[in-house]
Amino acid sequence: MSGNVRPESMKRINTPELAEAFINEQVEAVREQVGDKKVLLALSGGVDSSVVAALLIRAIGKQLTCVHVNHGLLRKGEPEQVIRVFRDQMDANLIYVDAVDRFLDKLAGVSDPEEKRKIIGKEFIDVFAEEAKKLDGIEFLAQGTIYPDILESDGVKAHHNVGGLPEDLDFELVEPVKLLYKDEVRVVGKALGLPDNMVYRQPFPGPGLGVRCVGAITRDRLESLREADAIVREEIGKLDETPWQYFAVIPDMQSTGIKDGKRYMGWAVVIRAINTVDAVTAESVVLPWETLRTIRDRVIAEVPGVNRVLWDMSDKPVSTIEWE
């Protein structure tokens, strides 16, 4: 397959057999394109970049170098999972960059959502470019571009796919899943042996928890959000039928609570669970009371600084899916 237009004759990849056929085809295509040269990939741990990484490891092995930048805004356990899956299990060339302090220092005191997005995006590109310049012989840049990205933004994803690298890093692109839709990418990921919680990872904004820690990010509130989000996802994930997306938010506000007979100020955690077909509109999901009560009890007992749990029952429109 070539070009940026999906052929009408291309079958939907919805079975393991079709996924294997696609993988074999792309392995050959990548080997033909790359030859014996080296490839660089920004590996966020999301579905698209993870599938591309696994596919390229099968195709060219150690010719691929993956760079995972931990900006401190990932969900609980995600950086560890990237290391475990790709370095430990797949024996990938993986560079792990702990840039938590760098990102959070830049974000300190910044409350405007768009400004936060710009800082996170620019800093990510800067960190990735710095790591790329340390490597010799890189001629190709792999990206997790998928077909909706091409339809919506002419092939350049707004975040994590590194479309804004400096001109002196002039790499040829390798985009093996660019003609696939998200559901097809997941089928391919399963066929490549990636774990379910990576293949079926819920949509996650490029700025990560940075836009769910509403307002100016503080480290303590961010850590409380990370813990609360893990509880929300764990408990809702136990339902027989799970919503399309569910997560936690911590607004930049405090309210009075009582602990050990004394009043104190604490944060509120907001539960957000929605169903959608196209993300243009979305409906709030009615969650079982037992699930809500369990989340409430666990969050208040286990998450520092939180004394209130709320449920966001707003639809889109008027509300957006994310808070920022």
Phi, psi of 202 (to 5 degrees): -70, 155
Please work out, in degrees rounded to the nearest 5, the angle formed at the alpha carbon of residue 150 by the alpha carbons of 81 and 67.
Answer: 30
Locate 288 and state its tokens: 């079982």
d(CA 99, CA 90): 24
Residue 114 vs residues 65, 107, 211, 231, 239: alpha-carbon distances, Å: 31, 12, 9, 28, 35
Instruction: Count Cα neighbours of 150 within 13 Å in the Cβ-side half-sphere.
Output: 16
Reported as a single tens digit per residue, the pLDDT across 63-114 is 999 999 999 999 999 999 999 999 999 999 999 999 999 999 999 999 999 9
The answer to whether residues 141 and 24 belong to one domain is yes
> Is residue 156 domain-shared with residue 266, that is, in the same domain?
no
Q: Which of 20, 271, 46, 308 is nearest to 66 (CA)?
A: 46
Cβ pair 171, 138 in contact under 8 A: yes
Is residue 207 assigned to a domain? no
Q: Are residues 126 and 235 in the same domain?
A: no
Q: What CATH number has the domain bearing residue 254?
A: 3.30.300.10
3-state SS track over 109-157: CCCCHHHHHHHHHHHHHHHHHHHHHCCCCEEEEECCCCHHHHHHHCCCC
Q: What's the token pair of residue 239?
A: 């339902």
The token duo for 99 is 């840039």
pLDDT of residue 1: 44
Would you place residue 149 in the very low, low, confident or very high pLDDT band (cuts 50, 70, 90)?
Answer: confident
On whether the CB atoms of residues 180 and 188 are closer than 8 A, the answer is yes
- The verdict on 128 and 230 lying in the same domain is no
Count: domains in the chain = 2
Predicted TM-score (pTM) of this structure: 0.89
My answer on whether 98 and 220 are in the same domain is: no
Tokens 């989340």 belong to which residue? 295
Same domain, 110 and 61: yes
Same domain as 46, residue 124 = yes
Q: How confident is the model at residue 160 (pLDDT cuts 50, 70, 90)?
A: very low
Q: Are residues 241 and 278 in the same domain?
A: yes
**Residue of 257, 252, 286 whose CA lies nearest to 270:** 252
CB proximity list for 159: less than 8 A, separation 6 or greater: 117, 120, 121, 124, 205, 206, 207
Residue 314: which H helix or E strand, with range?
Answer: none
At 24-53, the pLDDT tens digits run 999 999 999 999 999 999 999 999 999 999
Q: Are residues 176 and 218 in the same domain?
A: no
Query: What average pLDDT does this structure show over 197-201?
Result: 92
Token look-up 């959070």 returns 104
Task: Give me the CATH number covering residue 101.
Answer: 3.40.50.620
Write down the pLDDT at residue 154.
Answer: 52
Overall average pLDDT of the 300-315 stretch = 97
221 and 149 co-located in one domain? no
Residue 324 included in any domain: no
**Domain that residue 289 falls in:** 212-312
Residues 44 and 180 in one domain: yes
